[in-house]
Amino acid sequence: MRLRILVSTLLPVVACAGCGDAKPKTDSASVTPQATAALPAGESMLPVPDGKIWYKKSGTGTGTPLILLHGGPGFNSFYLKPLEALGNDRPVIRYDQLGSGKSGPMTDTSLFTIAHFVRELDSLRASLGYDKVHILGHSWGTILAYEYYKAHPEHVSSIVFGSACLDIPAYEKRAKSLVATLSDSAQKAIKLADSTKKYDAPSFQGAMSEFYGKYVWRHPVEADLDSTMKSANEGIYNYMQGPSEFTITGTLKPYNVTGELGKIKVPTLYTVGEFDEVGPEIVKGFANKTPGAKYALIPGSAHLTTWDNPTEMIKVVREFLASADARK
């Protein structure tokens, strides 16, 4: 996604990313780091390998802590703010992955890897002194959640996979099928952009706007839109995903762990929006392959369930985490 253009053309309807020449041609990625002024209460900057990440700890509950993993890759955690309501039950940690949001910059493309983000997450967990945590990943964050569990199962109490992107080929096929539901003009603009590899055209931006308004979010939180887009990292997104939600050219293109889901041994919840770009049928299939997993369809919601139907999303996650804690 061409984020600099999207900031000005798609803010009314553009969504946070899901799951050719879109990759950076140099070893850089454009992102503006936050100023190093004093942070509000509960917020901190943590040195991690290759930089510093911003995080916020909220909540007064005493249950097992929950760490939130945002989507992208290269986006940020603004849209996960509603889940801080779970702090009544437990500490909730919301953070921005390195290179995006309020965290420091990341310019070395050799670090645009799953392994880097797994190390980063473990540094955060360890620094907070948590031996066991619940992890909630959304979109790309579900890949990070699964890979973290695979690397450090001893530290994971449960997993919530929100709008799971655990089979990128299946997701891409689904997303492309949704393009066929758009207006004729949008379909023509997408076809032209994919054939020419020119994704900056206003017609393509308009087509993306139409797609996002149907399948990525339906009720965005206007106050967070500008922050979401302006602090996203175009380089990371393009390098790992590609130029759009439905054209996958990045390093994640072959990712598929469907055959491994039977090995998950902790309580697991899958959530998905009714109109979600990732496809309820795909997510339900993941749940069916995961031993004892629970599945919840969030009505009236597209991909960003925390914006489209936060009440139901919070309720479902709260009940799941309480049940997971009760199993200890």
Mean pLDDT in runs of 10 for the chain (328 residues)?
A: 43 44 36 57 92 96 97 95 97 97 94 97 97 98 98 98 98 96 96 91 92 93 83 93 92 98 98 98 98 98 97 98 92
Angle (CA) 215-183-79 rounded to 5° is 20
What's the rounded Cα separation, in Å, for the pair 282 and 165? Answer: 9
Q: Which pLDDT score, from 0 to 100, does residue 19 have? A: 59
Please list the active-site residues: 139, 276, 303
The predicted structure's pLDDT at residue 30: 41
pLDDT of residue 223: 83
The three-point CA angle 276-280-284 to 5° equals 145
- Number of Cβ within 10 Å of residue 299's Cβ equals 12
Q: Cα-flanking dihedrals φ and ψ of residue 57, to 5°? A: -105, 125
Which residue type sits at 184? D
Nearest to 172, CA basis, from 244, 85, 265: 244
In this structure, whether the domain defined by 3-326 belongs to CATH 3.40.50.1820 is answered with yes
> How many of the other CB atoms lie within 10 Å of CB of 324?
21
In angstroms and rounded to an integer, the radius of gyration of the C-alpha atoms of the chain is: 18
Give residues with Cβ within 8 angstroms of 283, minimum separation 6. Answer: 161, 163, 164, 270, 271, 272, 276, 295
CB distance 48 to 118 below 8 Å: no
The pLDDT assigned to 28 comes to 38
Taking the domains of the chain in order of start, what are their residue ranges? Answer: 3-326
| Both tokens assigned to 142 | 């579900």
Pick the closest to residue 149 from 48, 240, 67 (CA basis).
67
d(CA 188, CA 273) in angstroms, rounded, equals 27
CA atoms of 228 and 302, how far apart (whole Å): 17
Q: What is the per-residue pLDDT for 25?
A: 33
- Residue 37 has what pLDDT? 60
Buried/exposed code over 181-216 (b: 16+ C-beta within 10 A; e: otherwise):
ebeeebeebbeebbeeeebeeeebbbbbbbbbbbbb
DSSP 8-state code for residue 38:
P
CB 96, CB 72: distance < 8 Å = no
Please list the residues that pair with 138 across neighbouring strands.
162
Q: pTM for the complete prediction?
A: 0.90
Amino acid at 309: N
CB 327 within 8 Å of CB 294: no
